Amino acid sequence: MANDNKRKYSSLIVDGVEHAPSRAMLHAVGFEDADFNKPQVGIASTWSMVTPCNMHINRLAEDAGQGVDEAGGKSIIFNTITVSDGISMGTPGMRYSLVSREVIADSIETVTGAQGFDGVVAIGGCDKNMPGCMIALARLNRPGIFVYGGTIKPGARRRDIVSVFEAVGGYAAGKVTDEELHEVEQTAIPGPGSCGGMYTANTMASAIEALGMSLPNSSAQEAVSDAKKNDCHRAGEAVMNLIEKDIKPLDIMTREAFENAITVVIALGGSTNAVLHLLGMAHTAGIKLELDDFTRIGARVPVLADVKPSGKYLMSELIEIGGIQPLMKTLLDAGLLHGDCMTVTGKTMAENLADVAPYAEGQDIVRPLDDPIKKDSHLVILYGNLAPTGAVAKISGKEGLSFTGNARVFESEEEALHAILDGTVVKHDVIVIRHEGPVGGPGMREMLSPTGAIMGKGMGKDVALITDGRFSGGSHGFVVGHVTPEAAVGGPIAVVETGDGITIDAEKREISLNIPQEELEKRLAEWKAPAPKETRGILAKYAKLVSSASEGAVTDKF
């Protein structure tokens, strides 16, 4: 067995007399003698039966493995974890969601590093799988490719998971009966795949495609489809090409590539979670990306896609008109994308898009550049005495561009949800949910239950919600998350009192606590850090290690 550049890592594991024990172990899992001369490719599968987002990925992993094997490599499938945001939402279990991103990254890095794989295909299908996979690929910097597990088909009456959360609010308002709620619950989720709007899963899949780390169209395929099976098979072939050409993730994940990802997220009206995850991925890739980059890019990029949660259409309907490739071609032709960025095809972004046809006449899902839904970004970075190091708002314009009201303060998501459902929260309130940040949660829970209840009760334009936690991609309304510094570390949100005036101004990009500066300084001087909620286990470790949300909430910023 000869060492060669294509087997840069696996040769250290299986070549030579001294590694006969390694080969003996691998014979038992299906290796033939000839396989030891082939590049080994790890297929990182996020298969799990804990959520419909990932329940089909075992089969997709086999398709990817077949692509590797037919292209002359040796595939080895291994698993990492996943948790379900949709199931854990609104419960203490949601604290583990963002934490799972780090566990996924750590586990893929660990297995790949230990086993000496020469390349990696990572397949993710739910919110934290995807950035977790990408962080691992960047850390390893071995030829690698990401595959999206695909979006779910629409439920009855074009329902999805957000339909259920909003039906709960409708039930509390007396607008939805027991029978209607049960019918929505029974029909919203018809099978495998990630949540169907431009929520975090579809947002991150689109961002990764724009980044150049997945094959063209990987983000815009249904989970159960021939297109997705073919995507996985081609990804297996593509990683062998990357090994042949020695193209690695950090050759692709450049500053310009991250700007492309941000541009596409904005044009699609994507999730606020993209800010958090792109910052985390860039940190791992050694790229200096900051909150202000989202503002700079957002000033020139319009929102074009009329997709849920703020718009009308589901991802499956965007797929029917061609996915995001025609949108990317439009952005490229307008000078809004960097076309010379390398991608996992071994070609540049411009080369990949060269023959992409425009959307057919008559569709109204993606608007033309001269008739945007919003002329600039819906992702608005706010600063002010309430968020000195930044906050992230999702302002579509439908809810208005400014809001002033009186704070109604809650120390947890559960407290706020109960107050929304029982009528304690009223018109002109600014709901403040604190101690839900990366440290304070610990884990930075998503606030889909409160925002879903607000929309379901018909109060979307009547109240605002701010938090040091974050939002599901399914949240909409006048919402501001990622308020930093967070309450648990003494940020100003920690000393807001019920009744204080708060102003959120998306045009000025400001979030202000309307009290005298001397009073704010007095409160901050008297503030005392709360006792940690967790003292053992993964949540305690996370709280000790995690950085600010404005830095991507990473755990290796030393």
- 403 beta partners: 504
Instruction: Provide the residue type at 3 as one letter.
Output: N
472 is catalytic: yes
CB 160 within 8 A of CB 197: yes
CB 393 within 8 A of CB 382: yes
Q: Rounded CA gap, 546 and 488, in Å?
A: 12
Q: Which of 10, 449, 472, 512 is catalytic?
A: 472
Q: Rounded CA gap, 367 and 326, in Å?
A: 11
3-state secondary structure of 383: strand
- 476 beta partners: none
Please give the C-alpha separations between residue 250 and each of 221, 255, 284, 428, in angstroms, as whole numbers.
26, 10, 10, 48
Phi, psi angle pair for 194, to nearest 5°: -85, 160
345 CB-near residues (< 8 Å, 6+ apart): 215, 216, 238, 351, 352
CB 97 within 8 A of CB 83: yes
CB 266 within 8 A of CB 259: no
SS3 content of the chain, % helix, strand, coil (to 5): 45, 15, 40
Q: Which residues are catalytic?
A: 472
